[in-house]
Amino acid sequence: MDTSDGLAPTFEELATVNGVTIEIDVSTLRLESRDFADGAERPERFWFGWGDWTVVAAVSRTMLPELGRLMGESSLPWSNVGRVLAGPPEVYLVDGAQRTRAQRLESERFAPDSWFIQGIDEYIRRLQDFPLP
C-alpha cells in the first residue's frame, strides 16, 4: 500500500481491512529519519504524517532474507519497521519496552477531519503532538 497519506493512516487501514494488530518499531523509524530530519526532536514523527511517498508491504518473517536479496539486486532501500500479529485491528507504536496505541492522524485530503481543511499551522501542530512511546 502506498504511504502518501503517511504511515499512521496506512497502518490503520491495513490493520482494519485485514483484521490484525500491527506493531511499529519507532526506533527503526528514528534511524531511517536521520538523513532528512537532521536536528529535529523525535524525527521519526515525520513518518506518520503526509508526504513520505513510500510503500508498505507485509512479508512473512521467513521471506525477509529473500526480500532483502531482491531489494539489494534492484538497489532499492528497504526497512523492516514492524510486525503483524493476530489480534483486533489496532496499531501500536513500540520503542523498547514502551508500547503506545497509535492515535488517529488523518491527513487524507478528502476525509471530513483532514488537516488540509485547517491550514498548515494546524497540520504542523497535530504532527508535533502525535504521541510517541
pLDDT digits (tens, 9 = 90+) for 4-23: 778 888 899 999 999 999 99
Domain presence at residue 112: yes
Helix spans in the chain (H) = 7-18, 26-32, 64-73, 120-129
Decide if pLDDT at 129 tops 90: no
Domain presence at residue 91: yes
Domain presence at residue 2: no
pLDDT given at position 8:
84
Domain presence at residue 34: yes
The answer to whether 82 touches 24, Cβ cutoff 8 Å, is yes
Write the CB contacts of 39 (distance below 8 Å, at least 6 apart in sequence): none
Comparing 133 with 98, the larger pLDDT belongs to 98
Determine the Cα–Cα distance for residues 75 and 78; give it in Å rounded to an integer.
Answer: 10
Give the domain extent around 44. 7-129
For the stretch 78-115, pLDDT in tens is 989 999 999 999 999 999 999 999 987 666 555 666 65
Domain presence at residue 109: yes
The answer to whether 86 touches 8, Cβ cutoff 8 Å, is no
Domain count, the chain: 1
Write the CB contacts of 23 (distance below 8 Å, at least 6 apart in sequence): 82, 83, 85, 91, 92, 93, 94, 99
pLDDT given at position 109:
59
Domain presence at residue 32: yes
pTM (2 d.p.)? 0.77
Decide if pLDDT at 37 tops 90: no
For the stretch 115-128, pLDDT in tens is 566 677 877 777 77
Beta-sheet pairing, 20-25 with 90-95:
parallel
Domain presence at residue 1: no
